[in-house]
Amino acid sequence: MDLSTLADRIHDRAPSLPHPALEQAALAHAAFLDQLATERELLHRHVTVTVRDRRGPAYAQRRAAEAARALAACEVDAQVCDGPTAAATLAACLNPTSTPAHDASAGGDYQ
């Protein structure tokens, strides 16, 4: 997980804050993020959300899309899986020694 982009953004925008104390706090936070990125190996978590609906697959698909949009509003990458991908992802969740069922470099978490 790379924090440098976030730290750079905070650093660039800090001078536009309405009070010098806020600017100082923002700059301190950016420095903290830079230090954290250089001194520690940050973890990246994957969360699997499953959605069911008694009314059928079309309703479940709609609910999954709504959940993905809600997560996106929180700046969380989310993706709705098709049936085979969802089955493989759930199977991988049950085997802690396996590698993820999806390509992590593709971005997004699976539901």
Q: Where are the domains of the chain?
A: 4-39, 57-110
> In the block, which residue shows the tokens 């969740």?
93
**pLDDT at position 62, please?**
94
pLDDT classification of 105: cutoffs 50, 70, 90: very low
Taking the C-alpha atoms of residue 62 and residue 65, their distance in angstroms, rounded to an integer, is 5
- The answer to whether the Cα torsion of 89, 44, 103, 3 is positive or negative is positive
pLDDT classification of 102: cutoffs 50, 70, 90: low
Taking the C-alpha atoms of residue 96 and residue 19, their distance in angstroms, rounded to an integer, is 48
